[in-house]
Structure 1
Amino acid sequence: MKIVTVLGARPQFVKAAAVSRAVAAHNAVQPDSSTMLQEIIVHTGQHFDENMSDIFFREMDIPRPHYHLAINSVGHGAMTGRMLEKIEEILLEGKPDFVLVYGDTNSTLAGALAAKKLHIRVVHVEAGLRSFNMRMPEEVNRILTDRISDILCCPTQQAVENLHREGFAGFSCTVAKTGDVMQDAAIFYSSFSAERSSIVERLGVQGRDFVLCTIHRAENTDDLDRCAAIVAALNEISRDIPIVFPLHPRTRKVLHANGQVLAFDPIEPVGYFDMIELLKHCKLVMTDSGGLQKEAYFFRKPCITLRDETEWSELVASGVNVLAGADKKLILDCFLTSVRARTVFADGLYGNGDASEQIIRTLFNA
């Protein structure tokens, strides 16, 4: 069975690491070639910064991409169109049984569209998520990808229920609750992340409380009022507690272009092992990243989400995540509450750490 995996952004590299490892484990115990899996990895180049892409392949022992399309730094339409064209060429040549896509990026949608138009079965990992905000490009990407997918691998029961409400039980597809592959990766890599990262010591925050913060979503970076309110809140918080802020290239560009000044020094984007160690040692996470919201939960850290809604509603319902949007006062209030409260973390929201194996099993049963 031949699988083409389409990747383009940091969270997808993390997820792919877990599934690629499950593919290798599956092949290691097969008695003959007829039940083996061949994975061909396509890197669209959507994230092109060294610290946002190539470093993940090196650090996480992901097989090097067979194809690197180097498509970036253009608008949504141009990016998705160019990816669609190039991925189609690869699929026509390789003739895979499945195309596997992750999450909600332009790379996700382009891979799914290219496969579907060639009548190749589409597997969507992290299917069924909904923020119910159609102004988010990610929401559009995930809805369209779900609708044309043949196998929908849902990380949570809420994701399954979202699809059922949208009528997927009547579509010709397989909906499976597999658990979350990011949890697989977190469990596996956290066991030796300290051996590969010294970032806590380098930043001088070992044994100290600090906030880990990331901002990158267009709803915050492209809206100057939202961006200014978040920066103002962070600057005030930084007077009380250090903030470790890996600065996304898009966010850096926006801050510079609009003269918005941080009252603390950000750091360059970091690799996955560095991020794990920062998560292990921080007091609190503040982010607009969907992936980092979950990773905060995996490492038992409270999270303030700098958005008006989240796909991970179970985190809010369980009390480990709070939505603060881009309201300065609300952000500050949430910060004070979060640092003082004792957060209780429920177990099992994202499966049992075997989502990658469940996905492989679903492919063979579909």
Structure 2
Amino acid sequence: MKERIGLYNHIPFCQKKCHYCDFLTFVDMEDKMDEYIDYLVKEMALYHGRYQLDTIYFGGGTPSYLAAEQMAKIMESISKHFEILPDCEISIEMNPESVTKEKVETYLKYGFNRFSMGVQSFDNATLRMMGRLHDRQKVYEKVALLKELGVEKLGIDLMFGNPKQDMAVLKHDIELAMQLPINHISYYSLMIKENTPFQRWVLTGQMRVLDDEIERKMYHYIQSELAKHGFHQYEISNFAKGEVESRHNKKYWQLENYLGLGLGASSNIDLVRFVNHRRFADYYGMIDQGKFPIQISERLSVEDREKEYIMLNLRLLEGFAFQAINQRFQINFLEKYQDVLTKHKKLGLIDYDHERIWFTEKGLDMGNQFYLDII
């Protein structure tokens, strides 16, 4: 019987690179897209007939930057080389400026049922500082288009902690977001990444990073306000209204198997974690030889996987069940980690009952010490 897994497809193209972004993405390469898709399809063929798919995810980059016919070619190839299960969750990341009626109709034709739009903020000054190509009005227009075409599961990504974003801007962002017909929000804290314009501006004093106290105040405000509007928090950065949690992303946090295709894509299959080549020439060259384009492959010990399971699952607000970890790793979790659990329950970072463990609100803010003690 074929194994049931999730499939991630990396689309490494953008119209413009944002000032905070360090993802594996490229701009001004429209003439290379067809070639890349040809090789993505060839990579799929290397896995022909192996897997059933219960989630498919398109990330990047900007997957919605692809033309409608390019996305159609990818989906037809997935259907050819994998078994797409009837209840498969098919998700795509989009940026407002690249969403068109033709593209959305193509997505719906091929079974896409979960849409996530990168909004980041509704404040135009903040958007310009971040290097985004859209403005507030463009978001409204594209959300209206998506709903008009029948999209039901629609989420947006927002970011907080930007230098131009004080509490007033944050509050206005949430106020405007709550007026949209959306049912999922991913709300991320700004991280200053290496080799980005943001890092250069911080190092040269052109930009100041918000202090931790203000950043935490913003996070707690987000949690409180979204809850008031019916969004339940199910992961550190993710909030859903109704049954629209991201099944694909939960695979990452629950350490389930997934296959990553495309340049630099990561995979997790049982005890093996592997990553594709990050250079086009290397990625193409391996596929031309009929080989999997893997650059790094690592077999983890069962003990390492156990620690990883604990850390990733505690990103989820519900934590994890003792029965699940005990069965998977053949341990008695409460006995093995008794000293760590006792210490951190006294500190107010974790809580647990006879069935499961989870982070407290304080633990979500200060969980690093718990992780260090577990390791």
Fold shared by both chains (TM-score > 0.5): no
TM category, shorter: 0.3 to 0.5
- Larger strand proportion of the pair: 2
After TM superposition, the score normalised by the length of structure 2 is 0.32
After TM superposition, the score normalised by the length of structure 1 is 0.33
- Larger helix proportion of the pair: 1
Larger Rg: 2
